[in-house]
Amino acid sequence: MEFIKYNNNPKQKRTNDCVIRALSLGLNKSWKDVYKDLTNLGIKKGLMPNDRSNWKQYLKDFGYKMEKMPKKLNGKRYTVEEFINELAFDEQTYIIKIANHLTVVKDKKLYDTWNCKDKCVGNYWII
């Protein structure tokens, strides 16, 4: 598994924008466009741009469906690294929910501002 330190925030800020960073990379859209889209959707719904139900609706509006948390045969959860090594496909992009964070796996590589390979995978979306 390869980790690529990646921050597409236009000011290279380290702020609470993981949702915007992950969605923009995963959907191949600019950081600013995703921020605007989520803000506009949030205004309609009365939610903050990075509220879970807001960004989940955003992905749904693009036609992506949520995949349930993968579990091993013994019922244990996969870490991000295990997900990449055992479940992810080459030339595929995944937006992955981990505890209090959203990250991206693209072409079996983890893209993020920090290496979250040891965190457990929650629900995810295949892009």
What's the pLDDT tens digit per position in 81-95?
Answer: 999 999 999 999 999
- The contacts of residue 67 (CB under 8 Å, 6+ apart) are 123, 124, 125, 126
- Label residue 19 by pLDDT band (50, 70, 90): very high
Mean pLDDT, rounded, of the chain? 97
Q: What is the pLDDT of residue 21?
A: 97
Q: What is the pLDDT of residue 105?
A: 98
On whether the CB atoms of residues 121 and 79 are closer than 8 A, the answer is: yes
- At 59, list the tokens: 């992905």
Q: What is the pLDDT of residue 3?
A: 98
**Cα 102 from Cα 121, distance rounded (Å):** 10
Instruction: State what percent of residues in the chain have pLDDT above 90.
Output: 98
What's the pLDDT tens digit per position in 67-116?
Answer: 999 999 999 999 999 999 999 999 999 999 999 999 999 999 999 999 99
Measured in Å, how far apart are the chain's first and last C-alpha atoms?
A: 19
Question: How do strand 124-126 and strand 109-112 relate by DSSP bridges?
Answer: unpaired
**Cα 78 from Cα 17, distance rounded (Å):** 24
- The contacts of residue 46 (CB under 8 Å, 6+ apart) are none
Q: What is the pLDDT of residue 44?
A: 97
**Cα 124 from Cα 12, distance rounded (Å):** 26
